Amino acid sequence: MPLIVQKYGGSSVADVERIKNVARRVVDAKDHGNDLVVVVSAMAGDTDRLLGLAAKISDAPNERELDVIVATGEQISIGLLSLAIQQLGHKARSFTGAQVRIQTDTAHTKARIVSVEVDRAQQALQEGAIVIVAGFQGVTAEEDVTTLGRGGSDLTAVAMAAALKADVCEIYTDVEGVYTADPNIVPEARKLEKISYDEMLELASLGAKVLQARSVEYAKNYTVPVHVRSSFNANQGTLVVQEDAEMERVVVSGIAYDRNEAKITVLRVADRPGIAAKLFGRVAEANIVVDMIVQNISQDGTTDISFTVPKSDFSKAMSLVNGVAKEIGAQQVMGDDRIAKVSIVGVGMRTHSGVAAQMFETLSRENINILMISTSEIKVSCVIDAKYGELAVRILHEAFGLAERRVVEEYA
């Protein structure tokens, strides 16, 4: 019997009526002859409510205890969904992360999965039950409750699918799948039938919030086919799968767009070993995540370093970097939080040249100045003035012909 792992997020189980809807959907899949493992998040709002209670007691709550508190959200969801499925006349059995069992390291609030045991889940499946698993949570070797970080329920679903060798891991969301660009910006954006793990990883890390990045990595490592689809209808969504020859012939699969970063430039830094380490060491100590880093070639023994940080950390980062700049004898620090990052992503870039050039040319045709460039094997990102962000997404979508499903040979 085919085995499907389904994952429903907090908004899909936000209240009793929606939980009943999920139950009907699950039972429908079961009635079509599948074994079912269902991973659920906490009811929307519950996690924030619990965090709020903890925040009333402590500004910096102990993370072990925070996990104990927050993990109750998913535990409530699994019980309620099991009841709703049983009410429809099917067998269902709930499991917490500790029960199922998802063992993690001890990094509370952002634990990493160490191993997944599925004996109990498999036994329940053999008895004909639908297995309901609490997302987002695990347990240490010492039986302490852990959580996997925001979006961790995706990871739970993929990890269960990997351990059970499921035929597919279905992630139900409030969008129809993965698009060539944000349909709110590009009306012609097309839903992708399939996309490779690497492309999805780039899109996830570039701000397309359909799938948590770690869950995509995990799916890639265990070759779990992931189906991103809507919880509001039965339409096919987007399959995230291993790269194949056909995918490689598509040069650009999608355009990502991120308005949540700010740029900091340190001017005329002495170009000698240890300077960059000192600068970024300090930024890291302050728990500020740096995304792009660009350093130009040295002139007169000095160089300019530019990097981006989350907009929410911009002012904190600016005052920090101003301090470090003095220590390392830099001339000046400049900041800009009105920027946008536009990226083209596609595994086809590995085997096609001229893609970056076409991107730059497309932007320049509209007189859009490029402030920073960063590339990976399958991605080119440009930081530009925020006011041109949406225009850039639209013209790149057009230039790379993404509205049409087509295989581009011209770069070969």
> Which segments are annotated as binding site for ATP?
7-10, 173-174, 179, 209-210
Q: Does 54 bind a second copy (CB under 8 A)?
A: yes
Q: Does 45 bind a second copy (CB under 8 A)?
A: no
Q: Does 53 bind a second copy (CB under 8 A)?
A: yes
Q: Does 86 bind a second copy (CB under 8 A)?
A: yes
Listed residue (3, 5, 4, 23) closest to 13, CA to CA: 23
Hey, which bits of 231-386 come out as E strands? 238-241, 254-258, 261-270, 293-295, 302-310, 332-336, 339-345, 370-376, 379-385
The residue (of 61 and 207) whose beta carbon lies closer to a second copy is 61
91: Cβ contacts below 8 Å, ≥ 6 apart? 127, 128, 129, 130
Name which of residues 130 to 149 contact a second copy (CB under 8 A).
143-145
Least gap, CB of 87 to a second copy (angstroms) = 5
The residue (of 135 and 237) whose beta carbon lies closer to a second copy is 135
Q: Helix, strand, or coil here: 161?
A: helix
- State the amino acid at position 312 in one-letter form: S
CA atoms of 267 and 326, how far apart (whole Å): 11
Q: Does 83 bind a second copy (CB under 8 A)?
A: yes
Is 225 within 8 Å of 158 (Cβ atoms)?
Answer: no
Q: Does 153 bind a second copy (CB under 8 A)?
A: no
Is 161 within 8 Å of 224 (Cβ atoms)?
Answer: yes
CA atoms of 269 and 294, how far apart (whole Å): 13
Q: Does 69 bind a second copy (CB under 8 A)?
A: yes
Least gap, CB of 62 to a second copy (angstroms) = 5
One of 112, 120, 259, 316 touching a second copy (CB under 8 A):
120
Least gap, CB of 285 to a second copy (angstroms) = 24
One of 41, 82, 147, 306 touching a second copy (CB under 8 A):
82
Listed residue (87, 180, 167, 92) closest to 129, CA to CA: 92
Residue 141 half-sphere exposure, CB side, CA atoms within 13 Å?
3
Q: Does 122 bind a second copy (CB under 8 A)?
A: no
The residue count for binding a second copy (CB under 8 A) is 38
Q: Does 330 bind a second copy (CB under 8 A)?
A: no
CA atoms of 81 and 87, how far apart (whole Å): 10
Q: Does 353 bind a second copy (CB under 8 A)?
A: no
Least gap, CB of 118 to a second copy (angstroms) = 14
Give bridge partners of residue 373 from the DSSP assignment.
Answer: 382
Q: Which of 84-92, 108-116, 173-181, 317-325 is the region at the interface with a second copy (rule: CB under 8 A)?
A: 84-92
Q: Does 19 bind a second copy (CB under 8 A)?
A: yes
Is 6 within 8 Å of 164 (Cβ atoms)?
Answer: no
CA atoms of 167 and 217, how far apart (whole Å): 18
Residue 273 CA from chain centroid, whole number: 34
One of 8, 9, 12, 20 touching a second copy (CB under 8 A):
20
User: Which three-class secondary structure string do you get for 18-42?
Assistant: HHHHHHHHHHHHHHCCCEEEEEECC
One of 37, 66, 255, 276 touching a second copy (CB under 8 A):
66
One of 68, 293, 373, 391 touching a second copy (CB under 8 A):
68
The residue (of 11 and 230) whose beta carbon lies closer to a second copy is 11
Q: Does 121 bind a second copy (CB under 8 A)?
A: no
Enter the tokens of residue 379: 């991605």
Q: Which of 96-104, 239-247, 336-344, 367-375 is the region at the interface with a second copy (rule: CB under 8 A)?
A: 96-104
Least gap, CB of 140 to a second copy (angstroms) = 11
Residue recorded with tokens 């008895």: 127
- Interface with a second copy (CB under 8 A): 16, 19-20, 50, 53-54, 56-58, 61-62, 64-66, 68-69, 71-72, 75-76, 78-80, 82-84, 86-87, 92-94, 96, 98-99, 120, 143-145
